[in-house]
């Protein structure tokens, strides 16, 4: 049996109770899990201080000396502390214990040389150290230890139950001596040579007990690369399997619907980016394999028209399509947009949302089942069991990170063969994240805006400049333009936010009085019908200003609105600011985004404001956002546990990730099944990882 498969409680010094704790708190079940618990920082234990060199800095120090005296001091209320006098050849200090006094008293040897380690504090002229780590100098010299002392991740419960960093350190030493460091190599020799990687065995020894900084860096590089390489092998294999195993409907005909639309009804010339993306999609649809493509494009880049053209290809091949959006506002917008684009074509398009009337639903269900309905657009309502298709060939999913995996997979069951899938997002995903989160999807990017669009001008103004900003708004309204003023909405403080919004609305009403100006208001507490009515009035130009919370973030399209004012902009994340800004700039006029903030800004807030003013490029913004927030937050809560990487970091290690992906692609091209003798060990590890219900089961 592989030693690393041994249950953790059998390790000397662990036992059933500690084993149970490690399982529950750290998910450590066996020897192998403990080996892969990597330190998150290191303390330099190369330096020994003298007592007369100590300063009151609350830092950790190491001192060699003797305990010459020990006493218990009563603190009243039945409490006491144990105090020892510790000397070296330059002076003396005190060691203090509040817990475990009996054990310390019995085990401490007077007048014997110890190495003590801990945080020092100063009271009056005397330095003291509470609960020091203590080791006899003799043992200190012979221990398997490194100059860089590892500090392991832990939990409060572990510390309270006495499983301190020192204890985990001891377990680790014990593990290395029991396994005799018999760690077999997991990577093929060709990759080891190409990247000059140190062997797995040396990497594990040096990650836990590094002799110096250089060896630690080599160990970290080797283990980070390995972790990312296996993830990429998984994702790329999954993609290849899907292409070979999961048959898709071959859409071989590019027929009259597509051609008629392309030649006679396109409202504007497609951009080169749109043409390139359509070509990629057409290749997928005609390839006899199921398409699984992620279409990324910034707000307003023309993803909807690409989606419609894919649906027309489905129709030309005798199939139905559906488009699923996360909210009713967005579903309605898609429905209106697509109906308008396809108005001269002979196509049956309907919408199904929570508020669709029962009589309407009956017609929709019937037409879907008898095949006379070509395109259905809707919200989660499309997932209901009652919704059955005659032949669903293409599913388009908008803003997919808002849908759970189970929800998406329900769509697959509505067709004998899984339909082709096109996932669209206006949230630009940094390349690093896309490579890991969506590494098994093919990715298309629309990276240019339709012709005639002017870049939005963004400025940052402090609250003290409000009068100047208001004057500018009045000038824009005089030119016939419309304006959004958005207030933050943060769930926890809804009452406060509602008050901010209402105060803002009142002061705007005073500054922009009737009858010269009229104002709409939109917030989460309104009934859906009232929201739609307000949106409609604004869209039809009956009101000049829309005061709203972030409800309008996704999918509101009013080409005449040319200014977006974001109040308390420091309370928004970067991607949200970018999404809000995308609500303007949809017409031919010059548009503006004004970020209003307080003077007091954190460093992160300053970076966000500077980034917004500097660039309109969603991908660049997403990269900055990733650096500020980390991968978990960006993908929203339901995806935050996605990549619980053990040692690599998607933001800091993006270069290693790119190397890992490149080498994984290269290896699988040469040996798709990993059957070559030199890949035998690699395949064994790969299959082992694939068995675990690990991150890959949760990805897209």
Domains, the chain: 46-144 (2.40.50.140), 256-285+302-425 (3.40.50.300), 457-615 (3.40.50.300)
Band of the pLDDT at 30, cuts 50, 70, 90?
A: very high
Identify the helix (H) or strand (E) that includes residue 533: helix 528-539
Task: Report which of 628, 611, 606, 623 is spatially closest to residue 458, judged by C-alpha positions.
Answer: 611
What pLDDT does residue 549 have? 82
Q: CA distances (Å), 612 to each of 3, 77, 445, in order?
A: 54, 59, 21
Helical axes 680-691 vs 213-245, angle rounded to 10°: 80
Encoding tokens for residue 617? 């490029």
Give me the pLDDT at residue 45, please.
77
Cβ–Cβ under 8 Å, residues 698 and 642: yes
Angle at 183 (CA atoms; ends 179, 186), nearest 5 degrees: 160
Predicted confidence at residue 65, as pLDDT, reads: 96
Retrieve residue 426's tokens: 């206006």
Provide the sign of the torsion angle of the four alpha carbons 22, 26, 32, 35, taken in this order.
negative
Closest to 204 measured CA to CA, from 44, 45, 39? 39
State residue 694's pLDDT score: 46
Is-cis flag, bond preceding 413, omega within 30?
A: no
List helix spans (H) across 209-357: 213-245, 256-260, 272-285, 303-316, 328-341
Output the pLDDT for position 698. Answer: 33
How distant, in Å, are the alpha carbons of 54, 596, 660 from that of 42? 21, 43, 26
What is the pLDDT, as a whole number, of residue 635? 44
Q: Which of 395, 383, 386, 347 is nearest to 363 (CA)?
A: 386
- Which residue has 């429905």 as its token pair? 335
> Which pLDDT tens digit goes with each residue over 243-281?
777 778 889 899 899 999 999 999 888 999 999 999 999
User: What's the confidence (pLDDT) of residue 642?
Assistant: 44
Cα 230 to Cα 657: distance, rounded to the nearest angstrom: 11
Counting Cα atoms < 13 Å in the Cβ hemisphere of 211 gives: 5
Higher pLDDT, 367 or 496: 367
- The DSSP annotation for 166-206 comes to HHHHHHHHHHHHHHTT-PPP-S-HHHHHHHTPPPHHHHHHH
Average pLDDT score over the chain: 86
HSE (CB half, 13 Å, CA atoms) of 666?
11
**Other Cβ atoms within 10 Å of 232 Cβ, number:** 24
> Percentage of the chain with pLDDT > 90?
50
Look at residue 89 and give its three-state secondary structure: coil
The string of DSSP codes covering 622-669 is: HHHHHHHHHHHHHT-GGGTTTT--SS--TTTTHHHHHHHHHHHHHHHH
pLDDT of amino acid 513: 93
For residues 326 and 379, the answer to whether their CB atoms sit within 8 Å is yes
Alpha-carbon gap, residue 103 to 459, rounded angstroms: 66
Mean pLDDT of 159-174: 90
Supply the pLDDT for residue 651: 67
DSSP label at 237? H
Is the peptide bond preceding residue 590 cis, with omega within 30 degrees of 0? Answer: no
Please write the tens of the pLDDT for every residue from 454-497: 889 999 999 999 999 999 999 999 999 999 999 987 555 666 66
Tell me the pairing of strands 292-297 and 320-324: unpaired
DSSP letter at 585 equals -
Name the pairing type of β-strands 592-597 and 457-462. parallel
CA distance 75 to 83: 12
> pLDDT, tens digit, for every residue of 569-601?
999 889 889 988 988 887 778 999 999 999 999
Would you state the pLDDT for residue 401? 60
* Tokens of residue 78, six digits: 């039945």
The angle subtended at Cα 462 by Cα 459 and Cα 463, nearest 5°, is 125
CA distance 637 to 693: 20
pLDDT of residue 588: 78
What is the value of pTM for the model shown?
Answer: 0.65
**Residue 552 confidence (pLDDT):** 62
The separation between CA 633 and the C-alpha centre of its own chain, rounded to angstroms, equals 5
pLDDT above 80 for 101: yes
* Whole-angstrom distance, CA of residue 394 vs CA of residue 382: 14
């Amino acid at each position: 049996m592989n030693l690393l498969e041994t249950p953790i409680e059998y390790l000397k010094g662990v036992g059933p109770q500690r084993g149970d704790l490690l399982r529950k708190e750290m998910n450590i079940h066996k020897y192998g899990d403990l080996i892969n618990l990597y330190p998150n920082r290191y303390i330099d234990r190369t330096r020994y201080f003298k007592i007369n060199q100590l300063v009151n800095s609350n830092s950790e120090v190491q001192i060699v000396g003797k305990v010459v005296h020990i006493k218990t001091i009563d603190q009243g209320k039945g409490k006491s502390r144990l105090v020892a006098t510790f000397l070296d050849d330059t002076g003396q200090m005190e060691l203090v214990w509040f817990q475990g006094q009996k054990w310390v008293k019995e085990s401490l040897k007077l007048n014997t040389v110890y190495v003590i380690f801990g945080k020092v504090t100063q009271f009056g002229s005397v330095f003291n150290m509470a609960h020091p780590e203590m080791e006899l100098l003799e043992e200190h010299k012979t221990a398997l230890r490194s100059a860089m002392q590892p500090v392991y991740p832990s939990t409060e419960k572990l510390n309270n139950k006495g499983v301190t960093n020192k204890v985990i350190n001891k377990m680790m030493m014990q593990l290395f001596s029991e396994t005799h460091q018999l760690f077999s190599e997991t990577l093929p020799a060709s990759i080891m040579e190409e990247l000059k990687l140190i062997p797995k065995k040396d990497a594990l020894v040096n990650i836990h007990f590094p002799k110096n900084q250089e060896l630690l860096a080599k160990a970290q590089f080797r283990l980070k690369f390995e972790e990312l390489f296996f993830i990429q092998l998984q994702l790329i294999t999954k993609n290849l399997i899907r292409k070979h195993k999961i048959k898709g409907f071959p859409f071989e005909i590019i027929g009259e619907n597509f051609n008629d639309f392309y030649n006679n009804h396109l409202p504007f010339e497609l951009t080169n980016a749109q043409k390139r993306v359509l070509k990629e999609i057409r290749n997928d649809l005609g390839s006899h394999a199921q398409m699984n493509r992620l279409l990324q494009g910034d707000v307003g880049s023309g993803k909807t028209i690409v989606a419609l053209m894919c649906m027309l290809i489905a129709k030309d091949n005798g199939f139905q399509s559906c488009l699923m959006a996360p909210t009713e506002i967005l579903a309605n917008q898609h429905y209106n947009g697509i109906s308008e684009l396809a108005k001269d074509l002979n196509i049956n398009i309907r919408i199904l949302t929570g508020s669709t009337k029962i009589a309407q639903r009956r017609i929709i269900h019937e037409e879907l089942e008898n095949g006379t309905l070509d395109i259905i657009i809707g919200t989660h309502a499309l997932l209901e069991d009652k919704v059955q298709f005659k032949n669903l060939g293409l599913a388009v999913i908008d803003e997919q990170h808002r849908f759970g995996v189970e929800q998406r997979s329900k769509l697959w069951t509505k067709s004998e063969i899984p339909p082709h899938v096109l996932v669209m997002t206006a949230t630009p995903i940094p390349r690093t994240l896309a490579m890991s989160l969506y590494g098994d999807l093919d990715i298309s990017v629309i990276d240019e805006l339709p012709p005639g669009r002017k870049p939005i001008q963004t400025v940052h103004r402090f609250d003290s400049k409000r009068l100047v900003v208001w004057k500018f708004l009045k000038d824009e309204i005089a030119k016939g333009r419309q304006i959004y003023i958005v207030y933050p909405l943060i769930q926890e403080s809804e009452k406060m936010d509602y008050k901010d919004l209402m105060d803002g609305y009142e002061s705007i009403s005073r500054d922009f009085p009737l009858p010269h100006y009229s104002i709409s208001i939109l917030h989460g507490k309104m009934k859906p019908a009232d929201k739609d009515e307000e949106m409609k009035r604004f869209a039809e130009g009956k009101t000049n200003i829309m005061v709203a919370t972030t409800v309008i973030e996704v999918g509101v399209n009013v080409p005449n609105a040319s200014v977006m004012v974001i109040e308390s902009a420091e309370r928004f994340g970067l991607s949200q600011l970018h999404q809000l800004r995308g609500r303007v700039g949809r017409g031919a006029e010059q548009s503006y985004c004004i970020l209003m903030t307080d003077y007091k800004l954190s460093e992160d807030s300053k970076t966000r404001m500077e980034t917004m003013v500097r660039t309109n490029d969603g991908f660049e913004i997403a990269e900055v956002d990733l650096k500020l927030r980390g991968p978990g937050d960006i993908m929203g809560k339901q995806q935050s546990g996605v990549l619980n990487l053990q040692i690599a970091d998607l933001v800091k290690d993006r270069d290693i990730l790119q190397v890992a992906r490149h080498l994984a692609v290269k290896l699988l091209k040469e040996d798709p099944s990993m059957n070559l003798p030199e890949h035998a060990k690699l395949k064994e590890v790969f299959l082992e990882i694939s068995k675990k219900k690990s991150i890959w089961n949760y990805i897209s």
